[in-house]
Structure 1
Amino acid sequence: MPLADSYQPAPSLPSLGDAFFDVVDAARFPRHALRYRNDRAAQSVGLEQLGEGEWQQHFAELVPLPRNVARPLAMRYHGHQFRSYNPSLGDGRGFLLAQLLDRKGRLLDLGTKGSGTTPYSRGGDGRLTLKGAVRELLATEMLEALGVYTSKTLSVFETGESLVRYDEPSPTRSAVLVRLSHSHIRFGSFQRLAYLRQPDNLSILLDFTLDNYLPEVAQDAVEDRSAAFLDEVVSRSARLVATWHLAGFVHGVLNTDNMNVTGESFDYGPWRFLPHYDPLFTAAYFDHGGLYAFGRQAEAVHWNLVRLAEALLPISSQGALIPKLEAFEDRLGSALRQQFLARMGLQPRSDEDDAQLVAEAYGFLHKSELPYERLFFDWFGGDVSASRAAAGPCADLYTASSFQVFRRLLGSYEPVDPSRLEHSYFGGDAPCSMLIDEMEACWSPIAHEDSWDALDEKLLSIRAMREALALTPSAR
């Protein structure tokens, strides 16, 4: 087995016991055609030396990795879906395949999508469409490049089945995806145990999560581990919302079962990126009331945090938990300022100055309807990009009166690293973006001609942006 020395299996979740998961069997597929392999992510967990046969064996045939989780585990959880509680959830078309330590010592999970039915499939076929896999790949690559702490798409295999879906032209092609994720413990994992009135298991899950996924919190001697846990999840969730906001990303389905306690962005369904700044923009066609609109994502995440706090009440108290929830707004504001400056390649000044800069930027974006990504591209580094912005296609907008306050404020900021502008990415005439038409332009040649060239070219563009921006996604 050609595994690197850095491969460190760490199958800790089975120790929780069968009150938290179901042992399941992987589906068997008629075909295995490798469509995507993420060697950069593989290298982070010692899997980069796997040959083609071994890669297929583990990530298409779903044979367990050596010294790892012995059999696939479908996790149990509940959740609020569009604010209605659903006790019939759980991993319905995926499972935990393996757990590994990365080079930084973090415990990471390999989870599947489209790997077959489980006790929680609720009549579904347990499969993933190939288009769904391509969409998740594009979302994770784009978000990572824009500084969002996200799961990674490790592998995509086409699996040779015809699927019927009512939100896609059918029949459509099938796939199995493997993602590298910082836990699969959801807000809904705790909600389920509270709903079932299992305080002992709540404590077990809490201790497991702290010890394995949030060890920096577990190391602190605290009287109320539930409150310390919630405090950390509030901070991480606030940062997640801020990074989504600065990426112009709309998750689409911010149910409590789609929220990871590590603050990682995962579970990608009907996501979209903003064409221009619009707080009312929604991603899901079925979100008729705009509950999860772009401008309401912070509200949605805070609502979900309140539900998590309620789930912890059997092992904590309101007095300990409420102050943690009240910290969300301030932490969100701090994260927004920090991430805005990171996206602009600017050094911070003061909280007051930075907040004014952010407010003026979004005021201008709202009035001008400038393409969302354009401001960050044209003015990266601040004044050092002035001539570049003046030579670009949106130069006229930058002479408008609505831009002048922002422009004046921008002049007082120093770039973090002016040499980043030497990257070829900034020599182009447009930023890399991922609007719905661009995503469809990647998919259409695959669907009609089995041509993957457009997707490959888009991935190269995203990687160039990632290198140029040099953002470091972080949960804290």
Structure 2
Amino acid sequence: MPISPQAYRPEAKLLDLGDGFFDPVAPANFPLTKLHFRNDRAAVQIGVDTLTDDEWTRHFGRFEPLPGTLPQPFALRYHGHQFRNYNPDLGDGRGFTFAQMRDDCGRLMDLGTKGSGQTPWSRAGDGRLTLKGGMREILATEMLEALNVPTSRTLSLIETGEELQRGDEPSPTRSAVLVRLNHSHVRIGSFQRLAYHRDEAALRKLVGYTLRNLYDEDSDDPVRLLDLVVGRTARLAARYMAAGFVHGVLNSDNINVTGESFDYGPWRFAPTWDPAFTAAYFDHQGLYAFGRQPEAIHWDVMQLAVALRQIAESDPLVAALDQFGPRYQPEVTQAILWRLGVRPRNPDADRDLVQATERSLRTSEVGIDRFFFDVFGGELPDTYAEPWTEVRAALASYEPRKDRSHAYWSGEPCSMLIDEVEAIWAPIADHDDWTLLNAKVAAIRNMGEALAE
């Protein structure tokens, strides 16, 4: 099997946690495995890019074990708050972790699934994923990666030949299994479950596992863990805002402890800077609206602090948690300056520019993607009149962080609004034509090259 011997570095660190953290499961026996998407750009970073398509399908559709890593799939156990209501009946219900390895930066990575079959935590679900849902996750992860948001990466999408019934899309609909590459599937909800059962020994073990394997720190200190998670999640919240992205379901079981976005259901990119814009049709109160995402993520991190209170004193935990706001502010400033394409000057000037930008975007209702495309490098076109005077004046003293020589800047902004998602899906649904999807992925990656340092 042509696994790259230089780049493939298998691990099985999950086994160190032992019983009580996961359940061994078997993947579904699908009637079909038809490969539609393989992410060789991500695969090369973990040494599996040299697999043939047949080998790829056997590993990522039939889940034959990869050499040297986990001996079988494991469904992780966790709890969580869903729209602020505690649910002790969660866990991996249609996915599992089936491999771990080091990437080319030395980070421990998980290969996890979505749509791989039922587990002990499926409840009434069928454990499956719609092909449309898998396509949407490809688009979300590619777009977020290009926009500098820490995110899981869609490694593979394979159609599985079953007809699924769903209440929120025309049924029957086609099934698929997705594989994601993620820097950990340990969630805030993983700690909540152990606190719920008052299992202090397991809490301490999970703290140590997380610090050693995900943060490269030789420590068992729960306060240190919370401090690190506060920093990573503040960065995530800031970059969601700069990207104009709305995750849709920021429950505590959907926030992992490395601050890496994952698990994309009813996501949307906001057309304009509308703080009340929501992604999920069932988010009737706007709990996870665009402008409330920092608050929502902070609230979730608070639940981690509550869980860790069983093994740490409250005062240092509160002190660490209180740093979310002070860390978020410079992170969102940096993230928006990155999208503006300018180099930071000083904290006061940078903050003023970002606040002016947010005000003007909110009052003008100019499209988010259009604005950041037009202004990249720090020059606002003459077509931007009121309310852009303040932004124009502030930008005059900034230097570009990158020029506009890349071919991307000679075209139109790359966006990912809901109408385009539906337009990409239509030919797939009608006659299995993936041309638009492949072209969109190429366009997104082209944008990412233009934006990258």
Fold in common (TM above 0.5): yes
State the one-letter code of the partner of 1:456.
N
**Superposition pairs of residues 60-459 of structure 1, within 5 angstroms:** 60-215=61-216, 218-219=217-218, 225-383=221-379, 386=380, 389-390=381-382, 395=383, 398-400=384-386, 402-418=387-403, 421-428=404-411, 430-459=412-441
Instruction: Please give the alpha-carbon distance, in whole angstroms, between the structure 2 residues aligned to 1:451 and 1:94.
Output: 27
- 1:456 Cα deviation (Å)? 1.2
Aligned length: 452
Instruction: Please give the alpha-carbon distance, in whole angstroms, between the structure 2 residues aligned to 1:156 and 1:194.
Output: 35
Alpha-carbon deviations, 1:97-150, whole Å to 9, x = none? Answer: 100001111000000110000000001110000000000000000000000010
Of 463, 468, 471, the residue aligned with 2:445 is 463
State the one-letter code of the partner of 1:86.
N
**In structure 2, the residue corresponding to 1:97 is in which secondary structure?**
strand
State the one-letter code of the partner of 1:417.
K
Q: Structure 1: where are the runs of 5+ without partners?
A: 472-476
- 1:344 Cα deviation (Å)? 1.3
> Could you tell me the percent identity over the aligned residues?
56
Instruction: Please give the alpha-carbon distance, in whole angstroms, between the structure 2 residues aligned to 1:259 and 1:163.
Output: 28
Instruction: Please give the alpha-carbon distance, in whole angstroms, between the structure 2 residues aligned to 1:439 and 1:275.
Output: 13
State the one-letter code of the partner of 2:257.
V
Q: Structure 2: where are the runs of 5+ without partners?
A: none
State the one-letter code of the partner of 2:303.
R
- 1:375 Cα deviation (Å)? 1.5
**In structure 2, the residue corresponding to 1:67 is in which secondary structure?**
coil
Alpha-carbon deviations, 1:11-44, whole Å to 9, x = none? Answer: 1101211210000001011111110000010000
Instruction: Please give the alpha-carbon distance, in whole angstroms, between the structure 2 residues aligned to 1:377 and 1:417.
Output: 13
**In structure 2, the residue corresponding to 1:315 is in which secondary structure?**
coil
- 1:417 Cα deviation (Å)? 2.2
State the one-letter code of the partner of 1:410.
L
State the one-letter code of the partner of 1:422.
S
State the one-letter code of the partner of 1:173.
R
Alignment root-mean-square deviation, CA: 0.9
Match of 2:4 in 1: 4
Instruction: Please give the alpha-carbon distance, in whole angstroms, between the structure 2 residues aligned to 1:84 and 1:320.
Output: 26
Instruction: Please give the alpha-carbon distance, in whole angstroms, between the structure 1 residues aligned to 2:181 and 2:299.
Output: 27
Instruction: Please give the alpha-carbon distance, in whole angstroms, between the structure 1 residues aligned to 2:258 and 2:193.
Output: 18
Alpha-carbon deviations, 1:440-461, whole Å to 9, x = none? Answer: 1110110112111111111111
**In structure 2, the residue corresponding to 1:161 is in which secondary structure?**
strand
Match of 1:474 in 2: none
Over 6 Å off, 4+ runs: none
TM-score of the two chains, using structure 1 as the length reference? 0.94
**In structure 1, the residue corresponding to 2:181 is in which secondary structure?**
strand
State the one-letter code of the partner of 1:214.
Y
TM-score of the two chains, using structure 2 as the length reference? 0.99
**In structure 2, the residue corresponding to 1:382 is in which secondary structure?**
coil
Alpha-carbon deviations, 1:36-78, whole Å to 9, x = none? Answer: 0000100000001101111011000111101110010000000
Alpha-carbon deviations, 1:204-250, whole Å to 9, x = none? Answer: 011011111111xx24x6xx711110000000000000000000000
Instruction: Please give the alpha-carbon distance, in whole angstroms, between the structure 2 residues aligned to 1:318 and 1:306.
Output: 12
